[in-house]
Amino acid sequence: MKKIKLRAHHLLCVKGFEGKGYDEDFINNMKNIVGILGDNAYVEVLNGCDDICVKCPNMKDGKCVSENGGEDFVRIMDDIVIDKMGIKPQEVLIWREAENKVLGRFQSKKDLEGVCSDCSWNNICKWYLTRK
């Protein structure tokens, strides 16, 4: 089985991915990762740049430089997700186990405060929009 490295908050992003993104390279990489996860890959959960970030135009020198808050902002999101999932950074899970934790612990918009509530993509993320 393949292992994917994912920032903790990206565990949520892959649930809402619908083929949109920054550019074609980013979108194709995300499609590939989502496909691998569907095969029940192992996921190493990080609080830093990951296999999605490598194709993001906002990653420079291994850090997020997004105008929406940058590395400090996304690390806070990662830490919230890690804490709510009850795991440690660099913990390796089978995707279905990680997905079940996400679905169990992030059921409402209130559960997503500090993560998806502040995300610039939340207005088009159907997964976020379906949270009550």
pLDDT in tens, the chain (132 residues): 799 999 999 999 999 998 999 999 999 999 999 999 987 899 999 999 999 999 999 999 999 999 888 999 999 999 999 999 999 999 999 999 999 999 999 999 999 999 998 888 888 898 899 998
Question: Would you say how long the chain is, in residues?
Answer: 132
Q: What pLDDT does 20 receive? A: 92
| Dist. CA 56–CA 25, nearest whole Å | 8
Q: Token digits for 41?
A: 């890959």
Q: What pLDDT does 31 receive? A: 96
Residue 69 belongs to what H/E stretch? Answer: none
Asked if residue 118 lies in contact with residue 86, where contact means CB atoms within 8 angstroms, the answer is no
Q: Token digits for 73?
A: 């902002």
Residue 112 DSSP one-character state:
G
83: closest CA among 41, 113, 53, 118? 113
- Number of neighbours of residue 16 by Cβ within 10 angstroms: 19
Q: What pLDDT does 3 receive? A: 94
User: Where along the chain do its domains lie?
Assistant: 3-120
